[in-house]
Amino acid sequence: MTGSRPTSAPDVVARKGSGTPLVMVTAYDAPSARVVDDAGADIILVGDTLAMVVLGYDDTLHVSIEDMAHHVGAVARAKPQALVVGDLPWMSYHVSREETVRNAATLVRAGASAVKLEGGRKRLDAVHAILDAEIPVMGHVGLTPQSIHAFGGWKVQGKTLDAARQIVDDAVALADAGCFAVVLECVPDAVARLVTDSIPVPTIGIGAGRHCDGQVLVYHDLLGLQDWLRPKFVRRYANLHADAVAAVERFAADVRDGSFPSSDETYHAADQVAETLELADSAAATARENASA
């Protein structure tokens, strides 16, 4: 987004109203960070979806701050131009101010330039504490996956007038507190539009329609790396799971019919060395045959 220096949180704020939507994509390791960065995304979110799309859990509640730091580090070592945002996992900002700040700092020391946390007015203490430590904070309201047990499942939020007002008030409170952007997940588009028009910082939608200042998708969803799961809001731009299965099937077939490895894919010894080794090999084979006769 900025050319020679990595994108910063203030760069993201400056994009509000620019007319060019922000692009955020998740990544969890160096190769996925390079793909997302080479594609020109503005923000890489090392999301706690790590739990589901990389580690195989059924929800996001199973990752720790250590897990998140491990993967933030891998993303940061790709040295992306995009802003790297580290997701604070469940229970890393719910216990005390001190623990909250220490956990946010762990992600910054691992390589994040900002952190994200879920929840609205309930989480203002945590937001203030992290901002006091000079760490930019991205908010996240609507369907916050760390609340699925409280919500009773993965349900679109903000469908009633009262619920919609709560989401708008939460987003306004986060922006007033100093969050540099707010993720809106799985809310009706009218709610997303009202939030977008009500706050001075960018909204980034996922399942929130087009009236947001930016959009985010999970890397594995947009690339078709998990074809068993396809929420309504996902647009798939590749079928990498199917492509990878087909590639490994071809490798297996080549191994089984002896066509892999070819001579070109093999290291060869110099002629004289090879001849001596061949002689030794045939002597060893003869000795084996004699021993088993």
Binding region for ligand KIV (CB under 6 A): 26, 45, 47-49, 87, 183, 185, 206, 216, 218
For residue 74, the minimal CB distance to ligand KIV (Å) is 15
Least distance between ligand KIV and beta carbon 66 (Å)? 17
Q: Least distance (Å) from ligand KIV to the CB of residue 116?
A: 7
Q: Which residue number has the CB closest to ligand KIV?
A: 47
CB of 60 to ligand KIV, least distance (A): 6
Which lies closer to ligand KIV via its Cβ, residue 215 or residue 268?
215
Choice between 52 and 194, CB closer to ligand KIV: 52
SS (HEC) of the chain: CCCCCCCCHHHHHHCCCCCCCEEEEECCCHHHHHHHHHCCCCEEEECCCHHHHHCCCCCHHHCCHHHHHHHHHHHHCCCCCCEEEEECCCCCCCCCHHHHHHHHHHHHHHCCCEEECCECHHHHHHHHHHHHCCCCEEEEEECCHHHHHHHCCCCCCCCCHHHHHHHHHHHHHHHHHCCCEEEEECCCHHHHHHHHHHCCCCEEEECCCCCCCEEEECHHHHCCCCCCCCCCCCCCCCCHHHHHHHHHHHHHHHHHCCCCCCHHHCCCCCHHHHHHHHHHHHHHHHHHHHHHC
Q: Which is nearer to ligand KIV, 60 or 106 (CB)?
A: 60
Residue 214 and residue 205 in contact, taking contact as beta carbons nearer than 8 Å: yes
**265, burial (CB in 10 Å: exposed 0-12, middle 13-18, buried 19+):** exposed
Cβ proximity to ligand KIV, 150 vs 260, nearer residue: 150
Q: Are 167 and 193 in contact, with CB atoms under 8 Å apart? A: no
Among 118, 185, 265, 289, the one annotated catalytic: 185
Q: How far is the CB of 51 from ligand KIV (least distance, A)?
A: 8
Nearer Cβ to ligand KIV (91/285): 91
Nearer to ligand KIV, 49 or 203 (CB): 49
- Rounded to the nearest whole angstrom, what is the least distance from the CB of residue 273 to ligand KIV in the complex? 54
- Residues 174, 125 contacting (CB under 8 angstroms): no
Is-catalytic flag, 185?
yes
Q: Which residues are catalytic?
A: 185
